[in-house]
Chains A and B, each alone.
Chain A
Amino acid sequence: MNLSIPVIVMAAVIGLVGIGFYCLLVTRNMIRVVVALQIIVKGAMLALLLAGRMRGQLALGQSMALTVIVADTIVAVLGLALAVQVKRRLGSLDLNDLSSLKR
């Protein structure tokens, strides 16, 4: 396979998403969940920009990516605030201890 630029960027997208999902699967630490989400979303952003560039509508891709950046930053803030409050109230960041939220 010839390594053209789109293939390389797409490989980065798939790699980022895969690494992020693996982290989500194995981690039990709330803060690390936020890290994993950040990694996945970076992959998604790259994919948006690549799609925009290849269709000749980079501006559209960029404005979508901007929305994603804003949403993603808010998710990070929200997740970290949640983690800090959980730590304060329950004294732990372990997801397993939080499963009392189930019922």
Chain B
Amino acid sequence: MADELILLSIGLPWLGALLVWLLGDRKAKFQHGIAVLFAVASAVTACLLLPNVGTSTVVSFPMETTFGEFNFVADGLGVFLAVIATVVGSLAVIFSVDYMKGAAQLGRYYAMVLFFIGAMVGLVLTSNILLMFVFWEITALCSYALISFYNDDPKAVSGGMKALIITQFGGLGLMLGALVLFAYTGSFDINVFLANPSVLPSNILGVMAFGFLIAAAAKSAQFPFQTWLPDAMEAPSPISALIHAATMVNAGVYLLARFFPAFEGVPGWRISVMVVGMLSALMAAVMALVATDLKRVLAYSTVSQLGYMVYAVGAGGVFASQFHLMSHSIFKALLFLAAGAVIHSVGTRDMRQMGGLGKKLPFVRIVFVIGALALAGIPIFNGFWSKELILEVGMHGNPIWLYVIMLIVAGLTALYTFRCVWLVFYGEERSELHVHPVGIFSKIALAPLAIGAVTTWLLAGPFSNLLAESLPTHSIHELSLMEMIREVIGTPATYIALAVVTLGLMTWVVREQISGVVKNLRFLETAAVQSFGFEAINRGIVAGVQKIAEGLRGSQTGLLNWNVFGIVAGLILVLAALLIGA
């Protein structure tokens, strides 16, 4: 049963992708229909996997010789992320029916989205690290193709290239880890390795651990690779919601969580992970505070929240991290889709031109505010519970200065969230914007996410059970809903956090009175707008590579004979070197 479900939830979106592509762009209506049908079907199959969670391999394709076995395992971590990918994926596809209405080249769009969903499911369900690498790269490819979907816009094209190149660092780290694992154990199987990580010598294990940290940081847009995510916002909004908020950027966190039992003993690894998470969370929160582009604010907040998850993994709270991942996927997908609805309605992404949109878009205001409250960590919304769990993990047995910074970031989060909501939906209108009504399919996609943002924390019990039972090496202890509520409400840390969040909120309310302080912080604003110099570093690297490439252009004669001469000369050099060596 479970084996068919796994293959279906990977195969259905891919089949749908093929069909949408083959259908051709003249039958746009059918394309919308088929894309929705296959996305929803894969979501259903992935949800049916939930009762079939187990630790053993369910599907196995023996590849003989070097490639090992292409195994798929339906364990808690994988199935949970597969459900997130397919459910948010199908909602994003439903949303696209309105958002992409009348757009050119729908076939390319839907085919890539469905291809991505299938690859994401494969990435989290496989236990063969080589196959994982393949799926990892497919998601990067789809992400690139969708960021650059409007390929006559140079900004979109360069954003896509940037994302592709930076995430390739991640791919390299992962491949390095896979090859090291294979070289030392002769097997690509993750679970065999996790059960007994001491098969690797400790220095090799360290190389692998930090390689995977680089991989995760690049994929999840963490420090120092965070610059690609804001530029990825040139993608259509449903893509930002699906790939750059709910699924692909989580792959890095997933990688860290998956391999946590093997790497936690590596000296310095956990603290490095925590520092990477902390730096990303802090810097992105400050940048979100000064950004004026609605989608960029959400992108920075995604980096910041992913920083929380990475920090939680480093602090040893795999469950807290995955719980926040679930909350974040839902409320951030909600925020992005709602932002997409706003942008689609008013035709601009600049928040300075918005304002007072609440009256014109009442439904979107409600769902956006729900998402924002969850992001800010206001009680009873799902973001509150998961963030509190992370902060609590961070407080026990981990450096206290990191905890304090994460607390401050929680306050900053509340501050930028309210600034964003206020600029978009409240206050007076700052410019004459023609507002289109929001379509019915958008509402269908937004409503379940809004409900989810209020309720998913109720699933804490079954969710911890799912992880605890199927991940024997992670030593996750079960936590029922009542226990979680008692734990969160019963500790003073919660009230400290709440006080900080309120403080952040108050800062926005009294922003007029404290303008003197704000003026003194102007230097910080300037630095944040320039993303603390990271953009300049990126530009420098690009310019350097371009200069080298242009210098080398002379060596490309374009004539076969001279190229072959180069090959022969190289052969002679190698042979001569061998001769001298021997």
Assess A/B contact in the complex (Cβ within 8 A).
yes
A residues in contact with B559, CB < 8 Å? 95-96, 99
Contact B556 A26 (CB under 8 A): no
A78-103 CB contacts (< 8 Å) to partner B: 95-96, 99, 101-103
A residues in contact with B565, CB < 8 Å? 25
Q: Which of A21, A99, A102 contacts B564 (CB 8 A)?
A: A21
Q: A25-B565, A25-B568 are in contact. Are A102 and B560 (CB under 8 A)?
A: no
B530-564 CB contacts (< 8 Å) to partner A: 556-561, 564
Contact B561 A24 (CB under 8 A): yes
Q: Which of A24, A26, A33, A99 contacts B558 (CB 8 A)?
A: A99
Q: A21-B568, A25-B568 are in contact. Are A102 and B561 (CB under 8 A)?
A: no
Residue of B nearest to A95 (CB): B560
Shortest CB distance A28–B (Å): 7
B residues in contact with A96, CB < 8 Å? 559
Interface size for chain B: under 10, 10 to 19, 20 to 34, or 35 or more residues?
Answer: 10 to 19
**Total number of A residues with any Cβ neighbor in B under 8 Å:** 13
A residues in contact with B556, CB < 8 Å? 102
Give chain A's interface secondary structure class: helix
Shortest CB distance B424–A (Å): 48
Shortest CB distance B455–A (Å): 55
A103–B553 alpha-carbon span in the complex (Å): 11
A95–B565 alpha-carbon span in the complex (Å): 15
B residues in contact with A103, CB < 8 Å? 558
B residues in contact with A101, CB < 8 Å? 558
Shortest CB distance A45–B (Å): 19
Shortest CB distance A100–B (Å): 9
A95–B556 alpha-carbon span in the complex (Å): 15
Contact A28 B561 (CB under 8 A): yes
Shortest CB distance B494–A (Å): 63
A residues in contact with B561, CB < 8 Å? 24-28, 95
A101–B557 alpha-carbon span in the complex (Å): 11
A54-85 CB contacts (< 8 Å) to partner B: none
A94–B568 alpha-carbon span in the complex (Å): 22
A88–B568 alpha-carbon span in the complex (Å): 32
A28–B564 alpha-carbon span in the complex (Å): 12
A95–B561 alpha-carbon span in the complex (Å): 9
A27–B562 alpha-carbon span in the complex (Å): 11
B residues in contact with A26, CB < 8 Å? 561
1/0 per residue, CB under 8 A from B, across A21-39: the answer is 1001111100001000000
A19–B435 alpha-carbon span in the complex (Å): 73
Residue of B nearest to A21 (CB): B568
Shortest CB distance B556–A (Å): 7
Shortest CB distance A23–B (Å): 9
Shortest CB distance A102–B (Å): 3
Shortest CB distance B569–A (Å): 11
A residues in contact with B568, CB < 8 Å? 21, 25
Shortest CB distance B521–A (Å): 51
A28–B559 alpha-carbon span in the complex (Å): 9
A15–B567 alpha-carbon span in the complex (Å): 17
Shortest CB distance B566–A (Å): 11
Contact A25 B558 (CB under 8 A): no
B residues in contact with A95, CB < 8 Å? 559-561
A99–B568 alpha-carbon span in the complex (Å): 21
Residue of A nearest to B563 (CB): A24
A26–B565 alpha-carbon span in the complex (Å): 10
Shortest CB distance B269–A (Å): 41
A96–B557 alpha-carbon span in the complex (Å): 11
Residue of B nearest to A27 (CB): B561
Residue of B nearest to A100 (CB): B558
Residue of A nearest to B558 (CB): A102
Residue of B nearest to A28 (CB): B561
A27–B559 alpha-carbon span in the complex (Å): 11
Shortest CB distance B466–A (Å): 44
Shortest CB distance A87–B (Å): 16
A21–B558 alpha-carbon span in the complex (Å): 18
B residues in contact with A28, CB < 8 Å? 561
A74–B556 alpha-carbon span in the complex (Å): 26
A25–B572 alpha-carbon span in the complex (Å): 15
B residues in contact with A99, CB < 8 Å? 557-559
Residue of B nearest to A102 (CB): B558
1/0 per residue, CB under 8 A from A, across B276-314: the answer is 000000000000000000000000000000000000000
Residue of A nearest to B567 (CB): A21
A96–B567 alpha-carbon span in the complex (Å): 19
Residue of A nearest to B564 (CB): A24
Shortest CB distance A52–B (Å): 15
Residue of B nearest to A101 (CB): B558
A residues in contact with B557, CB < 8 Å? 99, 102
Having A33-B560, A102-B556, one finds 13 other A-B pairs with CB under 8 Å, namely A21-B564, A21-B567, A21-B568, A24-B560, A24-B561, A25-B561, A25-B565, A25-B568, A27-B561, A28-B561, A95-B560, A96-B559, A102-B557
Give the B-binding residues of A (Cβ under 8 A).
Answer: 21, 24-28, 33, 95-96, 99, 101-103
Top 9 A-B pairs, shortest CB-CB distance: A102-B558, A24-B564, A99-B558, A95-B560, A25-B564, A25-B561, A99-B559, A21-B568, A25-B565
Give the A-binding residues of B (Cβ under 8 A).
Answer: 556-561, 564-565, 567-568
Report 15 cross-chain contacts, Cβ distance below 8 Å, ordered by A residue.
A21-B564, A24-B560, A25-B561, A25-B564, A25-B565, A25-B568, A26-B561, A27-B561, A28-B561, A33-B560, A95-B561, A101-B558, A102-B556, A102-B557, A103-B558
